[in-house]
Chain A
């Protein structure tokens, strides 16, 4: 248990630092990589929803402080955290044992995890960019940014998931 918590904290610190760098990147002017939400998606299914919401809110707030976007990521993360469990139940195979389970390609199966990650990433990116675009006139650019950023982030999140899961049981 303690080992899992330490692993989670390490994963969160590393992904937050990567995110701080990623926040300055906008590939082709439209695609921003968002990787730290992987930590929220990976929280154990059995963890009480209050903890999921709190961890998500704090992670979002840290990114906001670094990125000078107070409230933007915190709000998006809170909404994402509320959606995590329903999405897991919608996509995970029926016979799966939920106790202490960490959502991943290994535990849910590749296709189920892909759908889970795709829905959550697209939701997060859409909320984030729509909040940002509140004062903007260029809706087409916002839609392009949502599509491109979600695609790029999804690829990175699937990559991180296969790196974190070593294949020798649940590494993290």
Chain B
């Protein structure tokens, strides 16, 4: 017995080394499973979100000039679109005087502004941390956008911070379509350049042009239909036999991410129940909003 104890004491360094190595590998493997993270092991925990919040308060000013220029440009474009839409609306109203032009499906969405306090673009699995959490009504699987387009999906929340799976993370994909032709596919980032992603699973006969806008398809409850994602820059270099793959320039500039909006869908619980095969209860107003379910991953 004494020899055995002596043996372990003499070789304790190996045991300690193996313990830490195995612990690290368990964490490494566990991290491949999104939505199942322990919040204290992520940058959304109280200490790191405070440190990042303080850093963000300083560094947030650095990009203001370019953000302002972007906003002005976007504002101008939106004003033009508004004028255009108003004219179209007036013409349509003249044609169909009795119809209503409200879109009730969009009334269910609410946008909640948030500030980015940590963000990475250089890793293979990137994440974003924002300064809003469960206390502000955030829940896992809510979509997040910024002025350029889709940013990611909420993964875990603490009371005043949340970690998102960035669009620059192969763990998520977003259902998207070509804005003009309605062909839809799956947008996924496979590493490398943070400015580009791939839209795959498009049907073989897809008609597209370089410069076409890609928008969300609205097939998941996280993103309503029509949110800008990026533009087509050409065919992706890897094309499988069955489908067309397009290289997309993302509308969101992830290296300068600062202000984002969380999409809160008032009917997500109801939709997830339906996806799970359960009909919604008769008293829908009492249904908790945004119940987590694995089956509605993006």
- A residues whose Cβ falls under 8 Å from a Cβ of B: 17, 20-21, 23-24, 26, 29, 32, 49-50, 53-54, 57, 60, 64-72, 74-75, 78-79, 82, 131-138, 141
Contact = CB atoms under 8 A, between A and B. Distances in A.
Nearest to B21: A78
B26 A133 contact: no
B191 A69 contact: no
B63 interface: no
Contacts of A32: 122
- Chain B interface bracket (under 10, 10 to 19, 20 to 34, 35 or more): 35 or more
B120 A137 contact: no
Contacts of B45: 65
A21 B55 contact: yes
Given A132-B123, A137-B191, A70 B27 contact: yes
A156 B174 CA distance: 40
Contacts of B193: 29
Nearest to B30: A70
| B17, B30, B41, B190: most-surrounded residue (chain A CB, <10 A) | B17
A51 B283 CA distance: 60
B42 interface: yes
Contacts of A71: 23-31
Contacts of A57: 20, 23-24
Contacts of A69: 31, 123, 125
Contact of A68 (B12, B16, B120, B192): B120
B13 interface: yes
Contacts of A26: 121-122
B114 to A, nearest CB: 17
Contacts of B41: 64-65, 70
Given A67-B43, A71-B26, A71-B31, A53 B20 contact: yes
A23 B120 contact: yes
A64 B123 CA distance: 12
A137 B25 CA distance: 21
Task: Tell me which of A24, A29, A68, A141 has the highest count of chain B C-beta atoms within 10 A of its own C-beta.
Answer: A68
Contacts of A138: 191-192
A45 B167 CA distance: 45
A135 B121 contact: no
Contacts of B27: 64, 70-71, 74
16 contacts: A23-B120, A24-B120, A53-B13, A65-B40, A65-B42, A66-B51, A68-B43, A68-B120, A68-B129, A70-B30, A75-B24, A78-B20, A79-B21, A131-B28, A132-B124, A135-B191
